[in-house]
Structure 1
């Protein structure tokens, strides 16, 4: 693998409904992932997962921003251009 691989996750123009479904689903999935990580940490170690505890509120704040953007798009009857790239690299020990 090269130093960093780039994967395109989302690329295109989307209606309000399409963008809302795709993006809220992705954010909800990440929040759910961190909720499960935190629950697992609580069950196994009796303490919260520190990373999950930071990421959950950060992701919820991003969802609020998304809701504002979506509301504006809907009010103006505009499509949304969405692109998302994932960069993956191997971590050296």
Structure 2
């Protein structure tokens, strides 16, 4: 594996309905992941997962941005170009 690998997750032009399905699915999945992580932390350790507690509101804010963009696109009868790349690198540090 190189220092950093890149994976193309999303790359294309989408109708508003398609873009909404894709983007809300990705963000909802991430929100649910952090909610479950926080729930597990409560069950196992009796305290919040600090990272999850920070990420949940940040992701919800991003969801609001997406909804605003989608609304503008619908009003203007536009399609959306979406590209998303995931970068993966190895590390010894959890906070990297």
Please give the TM-score of this superposition, normalised by the length of structure 2: 0.95
Distance 1:42 1:20 in 2: 32
Q: Is residue 53 of structure 1 aligned with residue 53 of structure 2? A: yes
Helix, strand or coil for the counterpart of 1:48?
A: coil
| Equivalent runs, 1:22-41 vs 2, <5 Å | 22-41=22-41
For this pair of structures, how many residues does the alignment match? 93
Structure 1 position 92, deviation (Å): 3.8
RMSD: 0.7
- 1:7-38 per-residue CA deviation (whole Å, 9 max, x = no partner) reads 00000000000000000000000000000000
Kindly report structure 1 stretches of 4+ aligned residues shifted beyond 2 Å.
none
Residue number in structure 2 paired with 1:71: 71
